[in-house]
Amino acid sequence: MAKPQLFFNPLKNLTNQFDKLVNGRLWLKVLFALALGVILGVLLGPDLNLVSAGTVKIITAWLALPGQVFLAVIQMIVVPLVVASIVRGLAANNNPAAMKQNGLIALVFIAISTALAAAIGILLALNIQPGNFVDATALIDANITPAVNAVATGFPDASEFPDKVSALIPKNPLASMASGEMLQVILFAAVLGAALLSIPASQSKPLFDLLGALQEVSLRIVSWAMLLAPLAVFGLITKLVANLGLDVLTGMAIYMATVILGLFIISIGYIIVAKFTLAQRSREFFGNVRELLLLAFSTSSSAAVMPITLQVVEDKLHVRPDVSRFLVPLGATINMTGTALYQGVATVFLAQVFHVDLSLTSYVFIVTMSVAASIGSPATPGAGIIILSMVLEGVGIPAAGIALILGVDRILDMCRTSVNVLGDVVTCTTVQYFTKDANKGDVISPLEKENE
């Protein structure tokens, strides 16, 4: 009996040490789940061919169930959390001029960073030329329309803009909430918050308290969902790698490396901005946001991690609620720097594959559309492909060429979502930095003053 005891003691000690290591460290659990998911995905994938395709489909479907439940719960609570957060964020500041300043600085920062991201993507693709490393005839179906028949549509007609602007106003807020039209939901919440400030505090207090309770309940549900996060990441990554295979990844390696290099450059830029706008060291800042970025990477959805973004920004980075509760939901909807860079690289890549010559006007169009199309795009997995098809059509590249990059899009979607979320965080720190003096003493709402 002594020999088995001697054998199991070191194993038990190792298990105890591992439990102590990961206890309370969600980001570490997520990392282990990512690694295990990749390993199991390779074992189940078509490269080793150890398991039949039908069996793999069943196994990965069940393994991905916790991930689907996790995403469903988060997405279920996003709309009420956004409405409650924006209304309370606006009502937490009784200075209309300060609110206007917050929004203006945020929009300028987002527009500039998105345009720079698209330009960086174009420059990287022009210098690395990933399209020259791909044999399009071997990867694309022969039925794709030849590039010579594609026609550049250019910028939208000026007469279309009034209709597009009026379409942003939610005619039926409940329908917008049901369909997940986040920009319309944000506009409705902003109008509701502004109306709350314009009526006497005694009348607005019941609705304000109700929204406060709704926000706390939403955050509690999110905390329950976070218990599933490691299992969710493990299942989703396993399914991705098992279905994708390594052949697709190696065939598009240069294209993927170009996108990831661009995203890394943007991330470094964001960290530099955070260093100047936040009273934290870069290492401390990264430690505070790493768990959030890992979850954004795993879920590929800015909206799914929006509640966690709010908690990180307020609790760990100490951003004022009047800034965070308005800008985090807004940023998750319109701040798409990672997506803009991806569009720049993908457009030039496909132009090289199809031998389409892009003019200076085409490059300006790509940058402009990357900024414009990001506004109102859904903060959900795969949204970048929808925007990319619009950009490709505008510069005369066959939209069917998306089939070439669709195989690896999921992995790149995960990477660019992390950058998008990092951008949301840095937008909050930047706005707070430039408005800290203007908003000093104005972060208590009239409702809260009446309660004191």
Residue 108's domain is classified under what CATH number?
A: 1.10.3860.10
Q: Under 8 Å CB-to-CB from 285, ≥6 apart: which residues?
A: 271, 274, 275, 278, 317
- Of all residues in the chain, the percent with pLDDT exceeding 70 is 74
pTM of model > 0.85: no
Residue 140 has φ and ψ, to the nearest 5°, of -110, 140
pLDDT at 429 over 90: yes
Q: Is residue 101 part of a domain?
A: yes
Mean of the per-residue pLDDT values of the chain: 77
CA distance linking residue 216 with residue 213, whole number of Å? 5
SS (H, E, C) 343-357: HHHHHHHHHHHHCCC
- Report how far apart, in Å, the C-alpha atoms of 30 and of each of 33, 286, 289, 405 are: 5, 16, 13, 27
Which whole number is the average pLDDT over 259-279?
A: 93
Q: Is residue 153 part of a domain?
A: yes
| Contact between 36 and 239 (Cβ < 8 Å) | no
Q: Is residue 225 part of a domain?
A: no
- Of 128, 164, 116, whose CA–CA distance to 259 is shortest? 128
Domain residues for the domain of 424 are 95-170+246-451
How many domains would you assign to the chain? 1
Q: Is residue 270 part of a domain?
A: yes
pLDDT (tens digit per residue) in 161-213: 677 667 767 788 888 787 767 667 777 887 887 788 788 878 888 888 888 88
Q: Is residue 413 part of a domain?
A: yes
Residue 147 pLDDT:
40
More confident residue, 19 or 327: 327
What single string gives the DSSP state of each residue in 394-420?
Answer: HHT--GGGHHHHHHHHHHHHHHHHHHH
pLDDT (tens digit per residue) in 35-83: 888 889 888 888 788 888 888 889 988 998 988 888 788 778 878 877 8
Residue 396 has φ and ψ, to the nearest 5°, of 85, 25
Q: Is residue 32 part of a domain?
A: no
Q: Is residue 395 part of a domain?
A: yes
| Contact between 273 and 430 (Cβ < 8 Å) | yes
pLDDT at 355 over 60: yes
Give the confidence band of 124 by pLDDT, cuts at 50, 70, 90.
very high
Torsion of CA 253, 256, 257, 260, to 10 degrees: -160
Q: Is residue 201 part of a domain?
A: no
pLDDT at 136 over 90: no
Which whole number is the average pLDDT over 419-442?
A: 81
pLDDT (tens digit per residue) in 91-116: 666 666 777 788 889 889 998 999 99
